Amino acid sequence: MQKPRHHILVCCSFRVSGAPQGACYKKGAGTLLQKLEECLADNGLDDVAISAAGCLKVCDRGPALVVYPEGWWYGNVTEEALEEITEALAAGKPADNYLLT
């Protein structure tokens, strides 16, 4: 298996008990996974791994995701935001409108 160029973790708010909680889950983060796959494909990014993550601890700014190895954290992510984020990723830069600082 070839190492992916990027790894995107999408907060799905799963806690140690296994129960979905928090803002990301309640705001539909689980449905963002499929849209993210579509956006990556649309931008020719076939060397990106996607993982549903447990709580990323930025509940007040969720749904959230993080792109590694760059370490770009994004908040208030919507399906429209994913389009901008993946276009920026394809260009090798962050999508400033959604970056968490």
What's the CA gap between 28 and 47, in Å, rounded?
Answer: 25
| pTM assigned to the model | 0.89
Omega within 30 of 0 (cis) for the link into 69: yes
Could you say which architecture CATH assigns to the domain 6-98? 3-Layer(aba) Sandwich (3.40)
Indicate the domain borders of the chain.
Answer: 6-98
pLDDT per 10-residue tile (average), the chain, 101 residues: 90 68 80 94 96 89 95 96 97 97 84
Q: What pLDDT is attached to residue 19? A: 57
